[in-house]
């Protein structure tokens, strides 16, 4: 338990203490570094952090902890665990409250640890309040909230829902559909394997890029990481195994309003190379037709040269991203429900429900699909929620801006999604 001597444990502390998962243990260790009465708790990150850590507090972890502690003393105000992530809100004497964000990799090691000012989202009780919260100078947004029906869907609220938006990792929903179809047709099995090779190695998110060359990973595990951890290398390995044409077919089969926007369908490594490699590449991509773009992708069929530190400038303005409107997202989520119901192994359902993105009331929503996508100046969050009666709802929130700072790290948009879902607006 992390508390001052003689104090009464708060509900947040009790929740943190009760989490007996690797996530809870890691969160208690990290919180202890900042809330201990005196500095001195073991701050050695070895054995706690992923060996190839590429995000988080920096190389000199002890110095970072000292800087963080200087903003205290802190007390735990709230603890929110979701799958492999946790957010701990800390109350301090100055500069307002702060959020300690933690992400574990698939081995239970810390992949990301940050301390940032708390992002506060307003209460949402009406769609007008949602629109007001999303109204930000320099940021375009898109919203679709709908109830699925046998014939299609009933719109509960829509705002620029027809506008194609850069979707980031939301594109992985199409890769997942293509994979489910290949398994269903017997072209591939969940127990088949993919092999990590330099040509398919991408940048985080995820951790498969850290595996040694030649590592063989079951398709089932790779697909799980692609969706639950949004692992870019996992997605690229699946796409490589299926072939670009198969994923482009899934785009059309899923009812994308203009499948040509996703032809050719690039993998994440190609997006990184096009967007933040040689600037001439993104210019050629912006100017090229489908044939020219396919030739351009053939020309960068090589190991990635871009580093995570190269990312910064927004590139969706050059068409370097995957473009979908909110209705496209709804259709692909609906298609995955149908895929799941035909999948006798339960694998599709297990993968799609592994990470709901927010704390979801499972008594209210026993089925919850979620996917997020981000890039500099790009943010998209989408949920498919089904209640015990079988009524199914979709919520899609998207933002795009010419500057990343206008959008931030996505915590505000994620929080708005949680507010809408908690409000009961979807079921009205």
Backbone φ, ψ for residue 389 (5° rounding): -80, -5
pLDDT of 304 strictly over 60: yes
Please write the tens of the pLDDT for every residue from 29-58: 999 988 887 666 667 777 888 876 644 454
Q: What Rg, from alpha-carbon coordinates, does the chain have?
A: 22
Please write the tens of the pLDDT for every residue from 368-393: 999 999 999 999 999 999 999 999 99
Once rounded to an integer, what is the mean pLDDT over residues 81-87? 95
Backbone φ, ψ for residue 217 (5° rounding): -130, 130
**Domain limits, the chain:** 11-117, 127-263+322-427
- The rounded distance, in Å, linking the Cα atoms of 321 and 257 is 17
Q: Rounded to whole angstroms, what are the CA distances from 315 to 46, 285, 309?
A: 36, 11, 15
Q: Which CATH architecture has domain 11-117?
A: Roll (3.10)
Element (H, E) at 140: strand 139-149
pTM of the model: 0.93
- Per-residue model confidence (pLDDT) at position 190: 98
Q: Rounded to whole angstroms, what are the CA distances from 151 to 148, 326, 342?
A: 8, 18, 19
Please write the tens of the pLDDT for every residue from 124-143: 999 999 999 999 999 999 99
pLDDT of 7 strictly over 50: no
Please write the tens of the pLDDT for every residue from 57-79: 545 788 888 888 888 889 999 99
Rounded to whole angstroms, the maximal C-alpha distance in the chain is: 71
- The rounded distance, in Å, linking the Cα atoms of 400 and 380 is 9
Backbone φ, ψ for residue 120 (5° rounding): -100, 125
Residue 289, C-beta contacts closer than 8 angstroms, at least 6 positions apart? none
According to CATH, the topology of domain 127-263+322-427 is Beta-lactamase (3.40.710)
Element (H, E) at 174: helix 172-184
């Amino acid at each position: 338990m992390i508390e001052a001597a003689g104090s009464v444990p708060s509900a947040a502390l009790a929740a943190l203490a009760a989490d007996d998962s690797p996530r809870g243990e890691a969160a208690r260790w990290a919180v202890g570094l900042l809330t201990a009465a005196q500095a001195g708790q073991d701050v050695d990150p070895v054995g706690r952090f992923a060996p190839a850590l590429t995000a988080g507090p920096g190389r000199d972890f002890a110095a970072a902890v000292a800087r963080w502690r200087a903003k205290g003393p802190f007390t735990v105000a709230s603890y929110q665990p979701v799958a492999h992530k946790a957010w701990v809100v800390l109350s301090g004497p100055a500069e307002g409250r702060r959020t300690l964000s933690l992400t574990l990799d698939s081995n239970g090691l810390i992949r990301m640890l940050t301390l940032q000012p708390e992002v506060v989202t307003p209460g949402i009780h009406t769609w007008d309040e949602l629109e007001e919260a999303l109204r930000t100078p320099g940021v375009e947004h898109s919203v679709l909230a709908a109830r699925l029906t046998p014939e299609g869907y009933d719109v509960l609220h829509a705002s620029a829902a027809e506008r194609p938006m850069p979707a980031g990792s939301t594109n992985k929903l199409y890769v997942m559909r293509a994979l489910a179809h290949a398994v269903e047709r017997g072209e591939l099995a969940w127990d088949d394997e993919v092999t990590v090779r330099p040509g398919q190695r991408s940048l985080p998110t995820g951790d498969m890029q850290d595996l040694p060359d030649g590592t063989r990973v079951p398709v089932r595990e790779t697909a799980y990481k692609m969706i639950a951890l949004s692992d870019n290398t996992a997605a690229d390995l699946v796409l490589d195994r299926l072939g670009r044409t198969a994923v482009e077919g899934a785009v059309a089969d899923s009812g994308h309003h203009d499948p040509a926007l996703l032809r050719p369908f690039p993998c994440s490594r190609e997006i990184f190379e096009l967007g933040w490699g040689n600037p001439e590449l993104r210019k050629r991509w912006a100017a090229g037709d489908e044939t020219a773009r396919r030739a351009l992708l053939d020309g960068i069929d090589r190991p990635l040269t871009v580093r995570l530190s190269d990312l910064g400038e927004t590139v969706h303005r050059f068409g370097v991203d995957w473009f979908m409107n909110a209705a496209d997202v709804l259709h692909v989520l609906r298609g995955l429900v149908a895929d799941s119901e035909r999948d006798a192994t339960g694998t599709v359902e297990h993968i799609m429900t592994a990470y709901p993105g927010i704390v979801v009331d499972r008594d209210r929503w026993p089925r919850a699909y979620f996917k997020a996508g981000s890039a500099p100046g790009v943010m998209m969050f989408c949920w498919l929620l089904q209640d015990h009666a079988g009524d199914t709802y979709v919520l899609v929130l998207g933002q795009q801006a010419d500057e990343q700072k206008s959008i931030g790290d996505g915590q505000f948009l994620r929080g708005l999604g949680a507010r809408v879902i908690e409000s009961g607006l979807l079921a009205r």
